[in-house]
Structure formats: structure tokens, C-alpha cells
Structure 1
Amino acid sequence: MPTAALTLPPVECCSKCFAVRFAYEPLGFCCSDGEVEIASNSFPSELIRLFTSQDDDVVHVRTYARLYNNLFAIVLLVAILIHVLKKAFTYSKNRLNLFPELRPDVIAILMEIMQHNPYAKFFRSLRELDVVEDTEIRLNKYPVLDQRMYNAPTAEEVVVIWAEDSATSATGGPHIIVHGKAEREHRIMHYYGCYDPLQYPLLRPYGDCGWHHGLKKTNNGGRRQHALAQQNIAAALAGDVDAFLAAEAVVATQVKTTRTQISCRAYYAYLLQMRPRNYILRACRLFQQFIVDTYVKLENTRLDFFRHNQATIRAELYQGILDCFEGGENSGANVGRRVILPPTFLGGPRDMKRRYLNALTLVQCYGKPDLIIMMTCNPNWREIKDHLAPGELAQHRPDIVVRVFRAKLLKLKKLLVEDSVLGEVAAYTYVVEFKKRGLPHAH
């Protein structure tokens, strides 16, 4: 099929939030038709220059954006990093010694920027912790058997490994740990408003809150909460850390999500839109890390909903039935699951099985397929290159890549099914995958 046949119409801008909207994207994709509005994430002028200019130091910062962010993040990934962060909070000279790729002039600029971050001021006590002899690093002792399926991708992209035992935020889900002067750790869960500014200080330089429970839509008082959330940060951090984190936990446990509140998906769908002065999109690989972390946060939020609403989805009607029929189990003590996921949870076992059975039913009813069509995203598509900033590559903007690919895929479906360019279509099914180059692919 000629490439010109899949050319997309010019993009439009949302009249409510001024976000760029590609073809076939619904009106509520960006801001839920004006119901979602979050406070603008401010950036100091020097950080804007480091994200947008084409100077030599800017190219360096965008190359090592993740490393610079992790150097300033208030995060403990493993216990040994306490020693690293102790030095990282001391002097610019020590920061440079830890990572020789970094430049002292850039570190000095970022340290000046972090002087205005309330979290950075508060958690400087991290350097007072001591590393003892029994400090451990835990590694995965069970690598996959077939490395051909899980070898490293060839594109410079960021991925996340999401273990099954971390599927609930109540136990091992996304969280970060901070230590105070009393050497007592504090667990900050992904649904706390302070999670994003602690994890991504370069993307939240002024400590702006991320998503948390209780954010209201604009027609339910949402505009009044923007200023209040930011005004309370400095005052809360000036007091006791226990009281501050306790307040975060109370909001998460007592507030029930309703239709009048902004969901996790709607919040980040608004945040990641292409708008003027949205400099989060210019952070290259740090932006990719933010995306995959946001995805894990979103999936854990969905899983938590089903975990706490088993009665609502009437899980008791089918709990354990599949275990009996598929496993041949005859003992009641070995049947059943703690949490049942409905087929509406995309990617879940019941959803995948339903899709598989539907595909087999098409073959049973209509016979073997006549055509197999494959479509791979091309990073040189005009619609992608036109929206890249100077100096950006397609691999720096996975958001543009997948949105353009989705629009072209929908247009291909329209040509095949509605316009019947290859003849009348009786039935079809398709799957979208990501190749090791990082590009989406459909067949």
C-alpha cells in the first residue's frame, strides 16, 4: 500500500487545554473535555535552557539526564546507595568523583536550582547515616532461561521489570524510602503527592505535588485546590516528617475515588500532553524513565481498585472455578485465588484468554485468513519528524511515536474495513507489539 495513503491530516489543538491532538484521538483524551486541570509545573530559566538549548553543555545534560536526576533524587534503591547519596549531598567535588561522566559546571547549576526545592532542604539529613558491614545488595538469582527472548534492546530506551509479587501497593509496589536523623525509615508510596518530586527533582524542581487521591475535577472545586496544595508543602516540611507522611497516608486511605475526582490515568494523560512550556517532554531518557514509572503506578492503582472491590465485581461467583477445571484439582483447600481480576483489566489472564478464544472463534466461523498484513512504525514519518524539537530524535519522544503509529493504524483499518480497498472484509483481528528497536509493530 502506498505510504501516501496513510498520510494523516494536520493536527489540531484542544480548545480547552491547548494540547496537540492527532487524528482519531477523542476530544476527552487530553483534559476530559475540560474537566481535568492541574497546576502548571514551573521550571527555572536555567533548567529550561538545559532542556531546550543546543549548547554543548545542554547536549551533555540531555545525554546524562537520568544520571543527574538520580544524583539529586531523595531515593534509596538499595542499601549501599546510602553511602553514595551521603557524598552526593555534601559537595560538588564529591558528586563529580562518584560519576566521572558528569561535569562540575552542570552540577553547580543543578545544586543552585535545588536550593529552592523544599524536599532537598529537608532531607539533607540523609548524609548522617552510616553504612555498616552487613549492608547488602540483593541481586536476582534466577535469570530467565531463554536469553534470546529477553536480551537487551538495540534502541536507547528505558524499560521496567515489574515482578508479580509487586502487584499491590500495600506490599512491594512502587515506593521510595527516606531516612531521617533518627535512622528510622519512612516508606513513601506511589499514591503520595510527594512521590514525584522526591523521585524526579529535575522534573519537579520546585517540589510541585504529583498525583494523589482526592484531586477534584474543575466543576467540583478543582481550581481552588491548586494553590493550597503547593502552599502547604513548605509549612509541612518545616515541621515533623512523621506528621507530614501521616497526613499523606490519611488522604490515601480515607478518600474514596469518585467520578468527581481526577483519576491517576486522567492526571498523567493531562501532564504528558504536547503543550507550550511543557518541559517534561524534553528530558530525553529521563522522560522515558518517568513514563515507565508512571505506567507502573497506574497499573498498581488499578490493581488496588480490584483488590479492594472484590464484592463489587462479584468475584465470589467465579473464584476458583478456573483452577478446578484447568488444574484438575479435587481438594477444596488448594482452590481459589486471593484477588480475582475481571476481564476488563487489560492484560490480565482472563482478558488475554478471552481475546485468544475470540481469535480462534473467527477462524472456526470464517476459515483460515486470506491476508496477513504487517505494519511497522517508521521513525522517519513526516508526522513524527515535524513534532520533534531541534536536536531531538524519535527515540527521545516515545509519546509522539506511539500516537502517530496509532493514528496511522486506525487509518489503515478504515481503508481496509470501511473503504474495502482490498475487497470486502468478513472478519479481522490484530495485535500490536514492540520490536527490539523500540518501535511499535502490528500484524
Structure 2
Amino acid sequence: MMMAKSRLPHPFTCRHCNARLFHHESRDTCCNGGKVSFSRVDAPIELQQLFLDGSTEGKHFRQHIRSYNHVLSFTSIGVHVDENILASGRGIYTFRAQGAFYHNIGGFYPNEGVRLRFFQLYIYDTDNELHNRMQENPQLHQSVVHKLQKMLHQFNPFVIRFKQLSILPNISECSLILKERPRNHHQYNLPTAEQVAKIIVGCDADSMDYGRDINVIRCDGNLKKVQETKGYYDPLQYPIRPNDQSMLLNAGQLLQQYVVDNYVKIESGRLRWIKEHQSDIRSELYQGLHDALHVGETNEENIGKRTILPSSFIGSRRDMTQRYEDDMAIVLNGGKPDIFLTMTYNPSWSEITSELLSFQTPQDRPDLLTRIFHSKFEKLKDDVINKGVLGKVKSYMYVTELQKRGLPHVHMLLVLESNDKLCDPKDYDSMVRAEIPKLECEPQLHEAVVRHMIHVPCGIINRKSPCMKDGHCKKRFPKQFLDETHQGTDSYPEYRTRFDESVSLGKDRSVDNRWVVPYNPWLLLKYDCHINVEICSSIKSIKYLYKYVYKGPDCVAMEVHKGSYMDEVQQYVDARWICAPKALWKIFRFTLYRLYPSVERLQIHLPNCHQVRFYDHQQIADVLNNERNSKTMLTQFFALNLRDP
């Protein structure tokens, strides 16, 4: 079987901002056709060299860029980073953070007996600034820290202003205000030293309204939280971030942290709005209002004490539950799924490697990885759904998921039209294979299967494999040798895996057909990546498949209740894990879930047990006496059936 690998159409360059746009990306991916513009400010030559050159200094700087940024930042960042992934020593680097981000700025002076850190290094004991920074992380190259420190003192307006602050005789009486939008300062221009700060002496700063400015008023060394939406937060937390945005794409590990940090800002804004507008989204069961009234409760404020995270927030528990039920409605109407397909990105795609610099790896460009995978999946959807390469599709649903290391993949379920349904093992063999093809007969397919479709050796060979649970492989590898495909007794058929010679994978490793993940030859050759295709052979498989697809976001299992109050927003924040590709997927507003056909949700409820919206100021009796509140789509559907034959 000979077939050319599928390549995306050549990317085009936006004539307004020079951004590279890939297949299926519109102009609103970048500058929206020139409607958004930023003045270009080139990074200092010395900084560009550290980002781009192949010297020992440059390599060490890029490898430890988060640490270099840390010792030069003005503020501190607090977040739980999953170090277990890094400690394993396997696979790619991933900045994967859990829970909320905290951004703090300290006082002008440290507490007694505490070494200088962050903001204080620019104000106190500036004669020993380099020595103090190296104490923070002795593993860094002092020459690189000195070079970066020198650049900041020369070009960074914050540093220039803070040096002026350090020589004030009455600094203990001062407050420092970092103005977000100083007068006569165009928002897209680089600020000057005179514009970035305002020093107030002998004033009650707490009583002043500074809007979104950053206020530094402590001289006792204690930390003060900086809200992530403050105007000058970014340049304080990321001082070595180049103003040239194309240079930021060369920041590797720091780019990953920057992306995650900024997505958290976006999501935090949405969650903050939800918390502040609970009166608009709160609801209580109609029967629950009756029950509360019967026990003497007349004040609505005391009913249903919880902060609700509504289903309109993508990824919330309500959202996931509703999508699961929507998909089950499609199964009820159209029958069980016929095909379960999983597609995972390939870091060696030419569309990715051709955009990298000589010293970069795919993990250094999570933005590129995310966008190329999205474009490839759009092409796969066209082949599978519109062109019907696996059969004419009647209905489908898919979920985009990102693994612990941030590797994007999509799970898709397909329901085929009656004439294209797969009825027996011969039909299965025509679509799905689970063997390594002969090298001399199908060289391209042989190479693709060995590269993409071999399950990572596990069991006795590798007990530390991620698929191992209680001493057994969750995916049931290695399989048994079989001369013919069998129907199977649970989720999938038992595919033909005939005994044959082992194939060498190098490094004293070899595999045979028992380790092959089922695949479709045409899709594998065209897309040159891991594409697992499974036949849904039994009705028993539906529950497993849907639970797997909608198992929820990658998060920590935790649920803490304080008294009778439940904060669903805080539960979500505390439990979430975010990595750079996942953050970028959401920043780019790529679709996470989709199903076809669409489902109209008819709220099913017992008599007087439907949901009712109400406000804090309303009395329960008024809510109950409002005839409109006793009607729902379901009750009116029944009423329509009574009236209309």
C-alpha cells in the first residue's frame, strides 16, 4: 500500500501583522484584519543573542530560563507545579500547574533576618545586587545573570524608577503606585521611567481609589497580593520577556509558564464574574421552596447556600453531565456507536518541524503544536464525517483532551448509517488491522505502524509504565495470538493477531503483533500519527465509551465543605490542572466538544420539582404565587398534547 502523507496547505502570512496562519485559521486568530495593532519594540541585541545563539551561555539560559526570570522578577508567583512529571525523567518538559495562581509583591525592606528577594533587590543594598541574586540560585551562570541585570538597569523603566526610590531619605513614609494608564501614555507604547510609577509621601494610600493600579505600601517586609489583572503585572513578573513578541516564542519553558499564567487570568475573570452574579444564575427546586416554607423559612437568602458553577462554563461538572446526557439521547435515537476513534498529535509532523529554529524542539512551541494539531484534526473530520472514508456517518460526537504532559488528542464516536454498519468479523477486518505488516510488502505502512501504533512495553517488561494498575495493563496488553477476528464479549472485538516474527525497535527491544494498537491503514498512512480505530461490537461498550470520553477534566479529586456552604467555583479552581497546550487551546477558542445532531434539552421532573430562578430580594410566597413559575417546557409539552391531537 503506497500513499503520500497528508500535508496541510501552505500557511499564509497576514499582511497586517505578519502572523503565520495555518489551515482553518481565520484572520481573527491574529490581528482581526488589522483592527488590533501594537507598536513593535525590538529587544536589546544582547537579549536577542541569549535567546537565539548556540553558545554555552545561550544554551544554559534557554534551558534554565524560568530560573533566570525568577531571580530577576519584581514579584513572586505562587502555584503548585506538578514536579512528578519532571522527576520521572521521561518524555518532554511540561509546565503543569494545579489550582490558583498567587502573585505577591513585598515591601521595600525585608523582615529582620530574612534575605532580600524580588522587589527588594532593586531598592535595598543595590551595591551587592548580583551577589544577592546568586544566593537565590547558585546553579545559574553568574555571567548571564550579570548580563541580564545590566540590561534591565539600562532599558527597564521600572528598574530606573526604583533606583531613584532607593535614595530617598524618607522612604519609610512612602507609598509606590504603579499606574496602569498614566496621562499622555498611549496604551501600546513602551512606558518611560517617568510614567511607570507615582510616589506618594505621607498619604493614607489605603483610602485612595487606584482602580487597577498596583500599590506598594508596606515597609514591614510582608507580602501583598497583586491581582493578576493589574496593568503592570506582566512586566513585573516576567522582566526578561522581550517586547518583541516573536522573541517570546523562543522562550521555551518560560513561554509555557507565561501561557498558563495568562490563561488563568482569562479564566479567573470569568469565574470572578460568576461569583459576583450568583443572583442571576441561582435556582432552587420548586419543591424545595415549598419544603422550606413549610418549616417556617420565609427568607430566600437562607435557602440553597452554595456558589454555583453553571453549565454555561465549559468544563464544569454541570456542563460535562449535560453533554453526556445529550450524547446518550443521540444513542437512544440513532443506535449504539459503531466506531471509536482516537487521534494523537505527532511532534515530527513536517508542518511543526519546518517552523522551528535549529535549537528548538516541539515542546518549546506549544502554540505551534496546538494549532497544527487543530488544523490536522479539521482535515480528519472532513475525511471521516463529510467524505465518509469509514462509512456514511449518521451522528457523531467528539471530545478534545490534553494528557498530563499536554499532548493533545481527540476521542470521537461515530454512528454509521444502516447500510454501512459493520455486522461481522469480516467487516471488521476490512476496516481495522492489529498486526505489523510485512516490510517487503507494505514498507510505508510497516514503518508507520512501528512508529505510531505499538503499545509501550509494560507488564513484566516495564512495571512503571503509565498503563499499569494493580500489576496489570489497563489496556490488556500484550494481547493473545489469534488466527481470526472474534466478536468479543465486552467493549471491542478480539482482532486477528497472528503469530509472526518479532520486529526490532532498537536498544535491545523487540515487539510482535500482540503489542499492536488497532488502526485503519488509510488514516494511519495519510495522517502519520497515532490513530486508534476500534469497532464497538457490543451494546455493553456504550457505557464504558461514554464514561471514558466524558470522564471530565484532568483534575484532583477533592471536595471540602465548610458548614452547609458549598463553593463550586472554588472547588473547580482548587482541583484543576492546566498545561500550556490546554491553555492555548482555550485561548485560541478551539472547540473542545461537539455532537451531531444537536439535542434540545427537555427538563424532566416530578410534579412541582422543577427549577425556578429567583433573586435575593424576593419573598418565597411571591415566587410560589407567580403562575409563570409553575410552568415548564415539560408541563407545557403535556398541555399541548392534551389540546392538539
Query: Structures share a fold, TM > 0.5?
Result: yes
**Deviation of 1:365 (Å):** 1.6
1:249 aligns with 2:211: yes
**Deviation of 1:300 (Å):** 1.4
In structure 2, the partner of 1:117 is: 156
Q: Secondary structure at the match of 1:373?
A: strand
**Deviation of 1:351 (Å):** 2.6
In structure 1, the partner of 2:38 is: 38
2:284 maps to a residue whose letter is: G
In structure 2, the partner of 1:235 is: 195
2:139 maps to a residue whose letter is: E
CA RMSD in angstroms comes to 4.2
How far apart are the structure 2 equivalents of 1:239 and 1:357? 58
In structure 2, the partner of 1:425 is: 393
In structure 2, the CA distance between the partners of 1:432 and 1:126, relative to structure 1 (3 Å rule), is farther
Asked if the contact 2:130–2:145 (Cα under 8 Å) also holds between the matched residues in 1, the reply is yes
Q: How does 1:284-433 map to 2 (within 5 A)?
A: 284-308=252-276, 314-315=280-281, 318-321=282-285, 333-338=302-307, 340-433=308-401
Asked if the contact 2:12–2:21 (Cα under 8 Å) also holds between the matched residues in 1, the reply is yes
**What do the CA deviations read for 1:287-327 (whole angstroms, capped 9, x no partner)?**
1110000000111122334445567xx42xx52349969xx
Question: Which runs of no fewer than 5 residues in structure 1 stay unpaired?
Answer: 129-179, 195-208, 210-223, 253-262, 269-274
Q: Secondary structure at the match of 1:430?
A: strand
1:240 maps to a residue whose letter is: I
In structure 2, the CA distance between the partners of 1:232 and 1:410, relative to structure 1 (3 Å rule), is same
In structure 1, the partner of 2:248 is: 280
In structure 2, the partner of 1:7 is: 7
**What do the CA deviations read for 1:330-356 (whole angstroms, capped 9, x no partner)?**
976341544x55544322343323222
Asked if the contact 2:176–2:199 (Cα under 8 Å) also holds between the matched residues in 1, the reply is no
1:44 maps to a residue whose letter is: P
In structure 2, the CA distance between the partners of 1:33 and 1:84, relative to structure 1 (3 Å rule), is same
In structure 2, the CA distance between the partners of 1:351 and 1:41, relative to structure 1 (3 Å rule), is farther
Percent identity at matched positions?
30
Deviates more, 1:103-112 or 1:89-98: 89-98
Asked if the contact 1:363–1:369 (Cα under 8 Å) also holds between the matched residues in 2, the reply is yes
**Deviation of 1:385 (Å):** 0.6
In structure 2, the CA distance between the partners of 1:378 and 1:56, relative to structure 1 (3 Å rule), is same
How far apart are the structure 2 equivalents of 1:4 and 1:435? 29
1:96 aligns with 2:64: no
Q: Secondary structure at the match of 2:186?
A: helix
2:200 maps to a residue whose letter is: D
Q: Secondary structure at the match of 1:375?
A: strand
Q: Secondary structure at the match of 1:420?
A: coil
In structure 2, the CA distance between the partners of 1:352 and 1:126, relative to structure 1 (3 Å rule), is farther
**Deviation of 1:40 (Å):** 2.6
In structure 2, the CA distance between the partners of 1:105 and 1:319, relative to structure 1 (3 Å rule), is same
Which has the larger strand fraction? 2
In structure 2, the CA distance between the partners of 1:2 and 1:410, relative to structure 1 (3 Å rule), is farther
**What do the CA deviations read for 1:127-186 (whole angstroms, capped 9, x no partner)?**
99xxxxxxxxxxxxxxxxxxxxxxxxxxxxxxxxxxxxxxxxxxxxxxxxxxx9549998
How far apart are the structure 1 equivalents of 2:276 and 2:256? 30
Asked if the contact 2:42–2:244 (Cα under 8 Å) also holds between the matched residues in 1, the reply is no
How far apart are the structure 1 equivalents of 2:285 and 2:270? 23
In structure 2, the CA distance between the partners of 1:405 and 1:248, relative to structure 1 (3 Å rule), is farther
Asked if the contact 2:40–2:244 (Cα under 8 Å) also holds between the matched residues in 1, the reply is no
In structure 2, the partner of 1:151 is: none
In structure 2, the partner of 1:156 is: none
Asked if the contact 2:177–2:198 (Cα under 8 Å) also holds between the matched residues in 1, the reply is no
Asked if the contact 2:274–2:309 (Cα under 8 Å) also holds between the matched residues in 1, the reply is yes
How far apart are the structure 2 equivalents of 1:321 and 1:33? 48
In structure 2, the CA distance between the partners of 1:354 and 1:110, relative to structure 1 (3 Å rule), is same
In structure 2, the CA distance between the partners of 1:430 and 1:101, relative to structure 1 (3 Å rule), is same
**Deviation of 1:251 (Å):** 7.8
**Deviation of 1:282 (Å):** 0.7
In structure 2, the CA distance between the partners of 1:390 and 1:5, relative to structure 1 (3 Å rule), is closer
**Deviation of 1:276 (Å):** 8.6
Asked if the contact 1:54–1:391 (Cα under 8 Å) also holds between the matched residues in 2, the reply is yes
Q: Secondary structure at the match of 1:374?
A: strand
How far apart are the structure 1 equivalents of 2:147 and 2:172? 31
Instruction: Report the structure number with the largest CA radius of gyration.
Output: 2
Q: Secondary structure at the match of 2:409?
A: strand
Question: Which runs of no fewer than 5 residues in structure 2 stay unpaired?
Answer: 79-105, 215-228, 235-242, 412-645
Q: Secondary structure at the match of 2:397?
A: coil
Asked if the contact 2:400–2:410 (Cα under 8 Å) also holds between the matched residues in 1, the reply is yes
In structure 2, the partner of 1:271 is: none
**Deviation of 1:381 (Å):** 1.0
Which has the larger helix fraction? 1
Asked if the contact 2:331–2:337 (Cα under 8 Å) also holds between the matched residues in 1, the reply is yes
**Deviation of 1:250 (Å):** 5.6
How far apart are the structure 1 equivalents of 2:5 and 2:392? 18
In structure 1, the partner of 2:636 is: none
Asked if the contact 2:157–2:196 (Cα under 8 Å) also holds between the matched residues in 1, the reply is no
How far apart are the structure 2 equivalents of 1:441 and 1:361? 25
In structure 2, the partner of 1:225 is: 186
Normalised by the length of structure 2, the TM-score is: 0.45
2:272 maps to a residue whose letter is: D
Asked if the contact 1:16–1:34 (Cα under 8 Å) also holds between the matched residues in 2, the reply is yes
Asked if the contact 1:433–1:442 (Cα under 8 Å) also holds between the matched residues in 2, the reply is yes
Asked if the contact 1:126–1:181 (Cα under 8 Å) also holds between the matched residues in 2, the reply is yes
1:73 aligns with 2:106: no
Asked if the contact 1:38–1:226 (Cα under 8 Å) also holds between the matched residues in 2, the reply is no
